[in-house]
Amino acid sequence: MDMLKANHGTEQSMGCNVVWLTRDEIKHKIPSMYVGDLGAAVRSPDDGWLASYAVLMGFRKKAQVLGAIFVAEDVTGIERHGARVTAAITGSGQPHSAILPEGNDLVTSTWDILSGDVKPGTDVLIYDDAGDHAGLQAAEIIAATGAKLEIMTRDRSFAPEVMARNLVPYMRSLQERDVKFTVTHMLDAVRKDGNQLVARIGSDYGGINKTQRHDQIIVNRGTLPNDSLYHGLVPHSTNHGAVDHHDLVNGKPRAMLENPDGQFQLFRIGDAVAARNTHAAIHDALRLVKDL
């Protein structure tokens, strides 16, 4: 019980929306649950389902309180002083939203919504070409403002990268706010007409050629690799940032020596390779460092 209370306090300090429930409160909220061997529980408004963005922001907030500095910019210069490497940074990595033959400058990325850099509109179209959590997280933020919202995907199924268990709280939240879901349609182009945006809609299956109007159009297509730090560090690494795949597959220590003057080994993982998810980065790191 003491550990559960400690965990509850930690979750609250990190910004997670969780409440403490006694045995009687658990029975009242979830009548079908046997509570005879329970003393208490911690519960979120999402019935225990993972709110991944909220957890991520909680970790970020806690890390910032402890003094961590998050860098998401491009590296323009590298200086090394002994074993210490200093990077000069400017600009920022770009979401992969330039996917249209016309109107890329008129659309917003999901990451602009998630970061708070762009305020949600009142009549919004989200074109989700990635099918991951980012599109649904942005949709939740927009729908919570009371905006009219449509989520469109060219796929035949909705959010294929989100597992069924995690899809439940998203769908519950979005359906309660009357969000419209459209599958097998694609965003072909965007143009401006007065204070509105005109979206040209088509389909991979043919037979669709129509327009619809919104005041904001958001594209979710993942991100382009923010790999400038990696490339800046390559000349200073012993392995020139390369991986011996034979050693990797056979569980042997990384022993490549392409640069005898290098001071460290360097590997590129996760979103520095391509737009993937946190699990991919974790597995990349595990495969690389378990046999160092």
Q: Say whether pLDDT at 25 is over 70.
A: yes
On whether residue 92 sits in a domain, the answer given is no
Where among 183, 201, 220 does a domain terminate? 220
Residues of the domain holding 280: 225-289
pLDDT for residue 46: 54
Amino acid present at 124: V
User: What is the rounded average pLDDT for all residues in the chain?
Assistant: 81
Q: Give, as one character, the DSSP assignment of residue 138.
A: H
Q: Are 111 and 215 within one domain?
A: yes
On whether residue 63 sits in a domain, the answer given is no
Per-residue pLDDT band for 88 (boundaries 50, 70, 90) equals very low
Where among 16, 40, 55 does a domain terminate? 55
On whether residue 81 sits in a domain, the answer given is no
Q: Are 246 and 213 within one domain?
A: no
Q: Are 179 and 240 within one domain?
A: no
Of residues 34 and 45, which shows the higher confidence score?
34
On whether residue 211 sits in a domain, the answer given is yes
Q: Give, as one character, the DSSP assignment of residue 291.
A: T
On whether residue 120 sits in a domain, the answer given is yes
pLDDT for residue 89: 43
pLDDT for residue 176: 93
Q: What is the CATH number of the domain that holds 194?
A: 3.50.50.60
On whether residue 61 sits in a domain, the answer given is no
Q: Are 259 and 185 within one domain?
A: no
pLDDT for residue 39: 72
Long-range contacts formed by 257-265: CB under 8 A, 24+ apart: 259/235, 262/236, 262/237, 262/238, 263/80, 263/83, 263/236, 263/237, 263/238, 264/236, 264/237, 264/238, 265/237, 265/238, 265/239, 265/292
Q: Indicate the number of domains in the chain.
A: 3
On whether residue 74 sits in a domain, the answer given is no
Q: Are 209 and 114 within one domain?
A: yes
Per-residue pLDDT band for 123 (boundaries 50, 70, 90) equals very high
Q: Are 277 and 261 within one domain?
A: yes
On whether residue 72 sits in a domain, the answer given is no
pLDDT for residue 101: 85
Where among 196, 220, 244 does a domain terminate? 220
Find, among 2, 219, 3, the residue nearest to 98 by Cα: 219
Distance between CA 212 and CA 188 in Å, rounded? Answer: 12
Q: Are 131 and 166 within one domain?
A: yes
pLDDT, tens digit, 9 for 90 and up, residues 231-261: 888 888 888 888 888 888 888 887 788 888 8
Q: Are 242 and 165 within one domain?
A: no
Residue 84: CB atoms within 10 A of its CB come to: 8
Q: Are 163 and 118 within one domain?
A: yes
Q: Say whether pLDDT at 268 is over 80.
A: yes
Q: Are 132 and 214 within one domain?
A: yes
Residue 153: CB atoms within 10 A of its CB come to: 24
Find, among 202, 200, 204, the residue nearest to 156 by Cα: 204
CB 221 within 8 A of CB 99: yes
